[in-house]
């Protein structure tokens, strides 16, 4: 044993004394040593830590012991809360050492005093219900210390008051804000600046790396170590931040804020009202012209339609005219100056969506029931990411996840983020998979493209669901298959079904855990970040290999770009992504050293196609079988 961190986690260390039946894990000791060394030498280190390694403590201890500031970024707010409220206090208590820690969320989680007051003064544009919510928030604001809106019990996630009481990077007045000295966002940032360990999420990390928001000083340059957990999610989050977007919501909000400012501060400038009204109408008309709600589509397909192109050009002109008018009024107040900046930014983004460099970017649109979002996504973010982290080259970067490597290699992940010189390490799971899990591939399955496939998949699951008495996750690659499966299973009243979309994810999981004969049906949001250990989950079935949709414009454009470079897009891009996704899904089954269960994958391509072995070699070493009776018996005995 060579390091202090590994001593702490060893059988001789304080964790062994603090917890009954504590068993040191070689993978965890090796990982904590590797992280400790990386933090001591300003390296980039990529770590795949198999399920059950205990990777959180393996990186927290070196971060706590580091003589410097660490930023720890994770995938979701829930995981942030778990790190901040549970894991860090546990480690502090056991090792008898504390550091100053801060939990920093995105600005939309904090009350914006300025916008709340401004919108209350000009209440005519809110509904009665929204106004009542804002008034209640005003009362709460007098008691809160940190302005964290998650503590406001009566406020739902989609509450109509939220846009009126929170800020965006666009509408925040920063240092010029009249409420700046009391600003909760600024206070949270100052507290973070003053802390040794800051827990953030990937969106905040990328917002800071890419946008460098004004008015709040810099957060990141002072950190000595950046530890990125759930790092497999980082490339997708980064792609959003290196792109551009223009949404009907941004346009409507600009229009509404212009009208508020017109009534409050510039009643003599009727052009503000004229162009704000025009933009609101043009945005609504565009949405109507776009037709039905559709998932991601190439924007160029819409721009080729004359009426949409014409309306979009008119909208872009109105934004440009509004910008000119607002710039003429900007001297009157900081609010009008900010509106001029926002209008100019949206105007130049709109101009970008009238043309596109398809060699570098892909432009796509997502159309919802009442709104739309236009997006530009770079085909390759490696250079952008490298440039973004270049100022932090003196810090160490540790990126970790249970699913980062493909066939023990990190090439795929490294290429995505341009981390070509990073050191890499794989620490295997300590679980005895051959003892704990059966891997079942049913025979005679139809081609997954067949319209009968989902029906057959559920028919194959049913005897196993009976044997396991529910306690099962059925994971799907599409909402269509999920809905079809739910309809079929509704006829089997012996099972209590929990179907994604019926309630929040956390509610469904809580109910699933405590209900007998429960079967949970979910799509990709249940493939990761879901932890049900013990008897509550004994059977996980996946319908198809999770290849990303070839119809998706970003995928299609990236595949075409790879092909144009003379490379094989399937083996270099689609297959590794699908392997990582499958590893995540399979990882739901065995969460603890005492867990046992059956993993079933229905897709016959896993066995029949040559690339099937690429998936199989990356899955945990479960005991394989194609014998249904044996699987039923195994489940019945659990």
* Residue 113 touches ligand SF4, criterion: CB under 6 A: yes
Residue 514 CB, shortest distance to ligand SF4, in Å, is 41
* Residue 472 touches ligand SF4, criterion: CB under 6 A: no
- Pinpoint the alpha helices (H) of 13-166: 14-18, 26-40, 55-65, 77-81, 88-95, 113-121, 128-141, 162-165
* Residue 115 touches ligand SF4, criterion: CB under 6 A: yes
Stretch that binds ligand SF4, among 49-57, 81-89, 171-179, 348-356 (CB under 6 A): 171-179
Stretch that binds ligand SF4, among 170-178, 293-301, 321-329, 527-535 (CB under 6 A): 170-178
- Pinpoint the alpha helices (H) of 330-452: 334-352, 382-389, 411-417, 433-436
* Residue 197 touches ligand SF4, criterion: CB under 6 A: no
Q: Which is nearer to ligand SF4, 185 or 223 (CB)?
A: 185
Q: Which is nearer to ligand SF4, 116 or 508 (CB)?
A: 116
Q: Which is nearer to ligand SF4, 107 or 232 (CB)?
A: 107
Q: Which is nearer to ligand SF4, 88 or 185 (CB)?
A: 185
Among 30, 72, 102, 177, binds ligand SF4 (CB under 6 A): 177
* Residue 189 touches ligand SF4, criterion: CB under 6 A: no
Check: CB of residue 80 under 8 Å from CB of residue 201. Answer: yes
* Residue 260 touches ligand SF4, criterion: CB under 6 A: no
Check: CB of residue 580 under 8 Å from CB of residue 527. Answer: no
Q: Is 141 helix (H, G, I), strand (E, B) or coil?
A: helix
Among 6, 28, 80, 167, binds ligand SF4 (CB under 6 A): 167
Q: Which is nearer to ligand SF4, 75 or 163 (CB)?
A: 163
What is d(CA 581, CA 440) in angstroms, rounded to the nearest whole number?
18
What is d(CA 568, CA 591) in angstroms, rounded to the nearest whole number?
35
Stretch that binds ligand SF4, among 58-66, 166-174, 483-491, 513-521 (CB under 6 A): 166-174
Q: How many residues bind ligand SF4 (CB under 6 A)?
A: 14
Among 95, 104, 149, 185, binds ligand SF4 (CB under 6 A): 185
Check: CB of residue 468 under 8 Å from CB of residue 477. Answer: no
Residue 148 CB, shortest distance to ligand SF4, in Å, is 13
* Residue 544 touches ligand SF4, criterion: CB under 6 A: no
What is d(CA 42, CA 226) in angstroms, rounded to the nearest whole number?
10
Residue 172 CB, shortest distance to ligand SF4, in Å, is 3
Q: How many CB atoms lie within 10 A of CB 313?
A: 14
Check: CB of residue 211 under 8 Å from CB of residue 169. Answer: yes
Q: Which is nearer to ligand SF4, 167 or 376 (CB)?
A: 167
Residue 223 CB, shortest distance to ligand SF4, in Å, is 23
Q: Which is nearer to ligand SF4, 211 or 354 (CB)?
A: 211
Residue 163 CB, shortest distance to ligand SF4, in Å, is 13
* Residue 496 touches ligand SF4, criterion: CB under 6 A: no
Among 180, 368, 524, 570, binds ligand SF4 (CB under 6 A): 180
Contacts 24+ apart (CB under 8 A), 310-318: 311/282, 311/285, 311/286, 312/286, 312/350, 312/353, 312/354, 313/354, 314/282, 315/251, 315/279, 315/282, 315/283, 315/286, 315/350, 316/347, 316/350, 316/351, 316/354, 318/275, 318/278, 318/279, 318/282
Sheet holding 437-440, edge to edge: 496-499, 518-522, 472-475, 539-542, 597-601, 437-440, 623-625
* Nearest CA among 238, 241, 239, 234 for reference residue 73: 234
Binding interface with ligand SF4 (CB under 6 A): 112-115, 167, 172-174, 177, 179-180, 183, 185-186
């Amino acid at each position: 044993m060579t390091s202090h961190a590994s001593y702490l986690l060893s059988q001789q260390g304080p964790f062994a004394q603090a917890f009954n039946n504590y068993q040191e894990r070689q993978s965890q000791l090796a990982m904590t040593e590797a992280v400790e060394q990386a933090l001591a030498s300003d390296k980039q280190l990529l770590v795949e830590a198999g399920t059950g390694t205990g990777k959180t403590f393996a990186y927290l201890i070196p971060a706590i012991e580091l003589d410097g500031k660490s930023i720890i970024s994770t995938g979701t707010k829930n995981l942030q809360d778990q790190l901040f409220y549970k894991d860090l206090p546990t480690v502090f208590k056991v090792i008898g050492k504390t550091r100053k820690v801060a939990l920093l969320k995105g600005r939309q989680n904090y009350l914006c005093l300025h916008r709340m007051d401004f919108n209350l003064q000009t209440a005519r544009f809110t509904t009665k219900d929204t106004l009542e919510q804002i008034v209640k928030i005003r009362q709460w604001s007098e008691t809160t210390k940190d302005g964290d809106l998650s503590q406001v019990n009566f406020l739902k996630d989609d509450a109509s008051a939220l846009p009126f009481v929170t800020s965006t990077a666009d509408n925040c007045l920063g240092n010029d804000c009249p409420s700046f000295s009391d600003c909760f966002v600024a206070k949270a940032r100052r507290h973070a600046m003053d802390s040794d360990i800051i827990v953030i999420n990937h969106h905040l990390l990328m917002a800071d790396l890419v946008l460098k928001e004004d008015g709040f000083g810099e957060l990141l340059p002072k950190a000595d170590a950046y530890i990125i957990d759930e790092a497999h999610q980082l490339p997708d989050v980064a792609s959003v931040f290196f792109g551009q977007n223009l949404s009907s919501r941004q346009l409507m909000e600009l229009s509404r804020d212009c009208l508020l400012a017109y009534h409050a501060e510039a009643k003599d400038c009727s052009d503000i009202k004229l162009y704000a009204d025009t933009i609101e109408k043009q945005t609504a008309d565009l949405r109507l012209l776009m037709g039905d709600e559709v998932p991601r589509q190439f924007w160029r397909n819409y721009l080729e339609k004359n009426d949409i192109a014409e309306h979009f050009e008119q909208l872009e002109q109105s934004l440009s005219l509004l910008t000119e008018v607002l710039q003429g009024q900007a001297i009157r107040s900081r609010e009008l100056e900010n509106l001029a900046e926002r209008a100019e930014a949206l105007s130049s983004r709109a101009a970008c969506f009238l043309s596109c460099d398809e060699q570098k970017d892909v432009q796509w649109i997502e159309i919802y029931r009442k709104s739309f979002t236009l997006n530009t996504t770079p085909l390759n973010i490696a250079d952008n990411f490298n440039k973004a982290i270049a100022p932090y080259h003196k810090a160490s970067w540790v990126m970790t996840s249970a699913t980062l490597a493909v066939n023990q290699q990190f090439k795929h992940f490294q290429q995505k983020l341009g981390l070509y010189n990073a050191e890499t390490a794989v620490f295997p799971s300590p679980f005895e998979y051959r003892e704990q899990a059966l891997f079942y591939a049913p025979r005679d399955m139809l081609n997954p493209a067949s319209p009968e496939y989902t029906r057959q998949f559920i028919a194959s699951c049913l005897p196993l669901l009976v044997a396991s008495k529910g306690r099962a996750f059925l994971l799907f690659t599409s909402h269509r298959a999920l809905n079809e499966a739910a309809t079929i299973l509704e006829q089997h009243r012996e099972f209590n079904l929990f179907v994604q979309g019926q309630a929040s994810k956390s509610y469904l999981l809580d109910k699933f855990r405590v209900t007998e004969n429960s079967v949970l049906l979910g799509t990709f949001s249940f493939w990761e970040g879901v932890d049900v250990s013990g008897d509550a989950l004994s059977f996980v079935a996946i319908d198809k290999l999770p290849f990303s949709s070839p119809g998706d414009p970003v995928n299609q454009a990236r595949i075409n770009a790879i092909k144009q470079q003379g490379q094989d897009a399937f083996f270099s891009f689609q297959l590794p992504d699908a392997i990582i996704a499958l590893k995540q899904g399979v990882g739901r089954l065995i969460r603890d050293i005492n867990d046992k269960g059956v993993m079933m994958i229905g897709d016959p391509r896993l066995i029949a196609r040559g690339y099937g072995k690429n998936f199989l070699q990356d899955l945990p070493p479960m005991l394989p079988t194609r014998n249904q009776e044996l699987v039923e018996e195994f489940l019945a005995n659990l």
